[in-house]
Every structure is written in C-alpha cells, then in structure tokens.
Structure 1
Amino acid sequence: MTTRRRARGFAKAGNLYIGHNRRRGTVVAYGACAGMLGVAAMTAREKVEQFFTGRLSSEVPGKTLARLISAEPQTKEELWVLNMAMHYGQGAVAAVIRGVASFYGLRGPFTDFIFIGVRLIIDQTLENWTGVGAPPWYPVGEQVIDLLYKAVYAFVTGYLIDC
C-alpha cells in the first residue's frame, strides 16, 4: 500500500482498496450491534403479526440452545431466557459475517438478499443438528413466515452495517 493511499484513509482488503479504515474489532462490533438491532426489528414485526393472527412464539431457538449447552429448562421463564439468548446471540454472531462482507466491499440489497440464506443456513443447521427443529421441508406456510422474518432481519442488519 502506498503512503498516499494510507494517508487518505484507504485500507487494503485483498486486492481492493476500500475507502474506510476500520480495524477488525470494529467490524465485529458493528456487525454484532447491527445484528442485535436487526433481531429487534424482526421481533417487533413478529409481535405485530402474532397480535393479529394469534400465532404463538416459537420455542425452537431456546430448545436448540438448551441442547447445545446440555441444559434442561425447568420453567417457561427459563426457556424464555434461553430463547432470547439464542435469538439475539445468533443474530449478533451471524451479522459479523455481514459486517466482514461489507468491509470487503460487498454491500447493498443484493448482499442483504444473500445474507437471508446465510441466516437460514445457520438456523437450519443448528436446529437439525440438535434434533430440535423440523427438517428443511417443513410446511410451506411456515417456510414463508420464516423467510419473511429473516428478510426483515437481513435488510435491517445490512442497512445498519452499510451506512
């Protein structure tokens, strides 16, 4: 990297020069924070939908985390705590991937669209690995709901990371 490029604040990313100079820790922090805000937006949207449809909240994230850490929640409150920990924690960790993508120049709606798939892959892998979730061929209506909420998460997270 030339001194002139370094003086202008450009960072070398692979063979690309990117016009911002963030450190790795900052990229991780931006991704994790944006991911938690993306989960909050997804959850808010879900609560509005549940108010009108009467659909119950999923306990699958909490049960998945319980299996991963070999815990056995004794009450609904304990399961709710595990559910929120998995919900927000997984959203934060997954968004670090989106933060790294943004750092290396992959930004915008197309990248957000691809990120929907990344989030679904993480969800399905953990849920199926632990034996908690339904196989990927669960009912179409549930797939549509899952895709819509993951899209809200992905686009909010991507917008916050890219700006």
Structure 2
Amino acid sequence: KLEPDELPSKKPEMISMLVDKAAEGIITEGKYIRKEEEAKELANMLKEKKNQGIEEVWEYCAYIYSLESFLYKTLNATMRLVGDKDHEHVWRSKVRTLGPFCLLLWDDPFNTKAKTGMIIYRGATLNDEQIAKYKEMAKDSSMYGSFQAFTSCSRN
C-alpha cells in the first residue's frame, strides 16, 4: 500500500523508473493479444516523456489512455473486475503489467477537486452478470458500487 507521500507526484525520482515499467507493461499486454506493434508505439510515446516532470508525464498518460487503442480497453475491462471475488485472480494478474501506468495516470499532480452534482454519461460493455449486479444495487438505496476504470464521459 502506498502512502500519500510515496506517490510519484511527491517523489520525482520515481518517475523515470515508473515510465520504464509502464512501457514494459504496455508491451507485455500488447503481446498477449497480438497487438505488439501498437503496444510498442504507445510505449515509445510514453518513454519520450520519461525525463520530464510528473505534470508532463501525467498529461501524456491521459492522452495515451484517451487514444482508440487496446490499452484503454484492456485497462477498463480489468479494472471493472476489481472487487469481484470471482475474478480477483484476473485483475491481480495484471497489477505487474498495468499497475505502473495506472499509478502514473491516477496520481493527478494538479490535485484538481472532482466536481459533483452533475449528470454524466458513458457507454460501457458489461456482461449479463455485471448488469444483474448493478440492477440489484439500484433496487436498494443502501447498496452502492462503482466502475473502477478510468472512464471518459460526456455531459450530453
């Protein structure tokens, strides 16, 4: 478990190493699904920022994540399984490869406060079991759940 003072935004000396690990993980995941060339391209894009500050690295991680690629699809599919005991082995198996990129993307160096009280929309591909879980939660106001993925949304 990382403490707040151990995050890349607080330890700039970690950034270069994390970028290298993130790039390696992207390539490994790309190989698994026969997208090695795409993975190498994404990894090389990220490595170009390796000696920059956390702000530049974070912005570039967000940019790479927003591209139409296997990376965001793999990340979202994996992160939606977080907390699901039946699929724990799946998401835990991705921590080594996807974890460094996720950490760089999650650690917002700008510390922007999230806005609340607005309605946003996002389409998501869920299996029947996931849909059933959310339907059950919707029936009981004391239950809650969340999508563990980094998700882009629109307001209309």
Q: Is TM more than 0.5 here? A: no
TM-score by length of 1: 0.30
The structure with the larger Rg is 1
More RCO (CA 8 Å, sep 6+):
1
TM-score by length of 2: 0.31
- Greater percentage in helix: 1
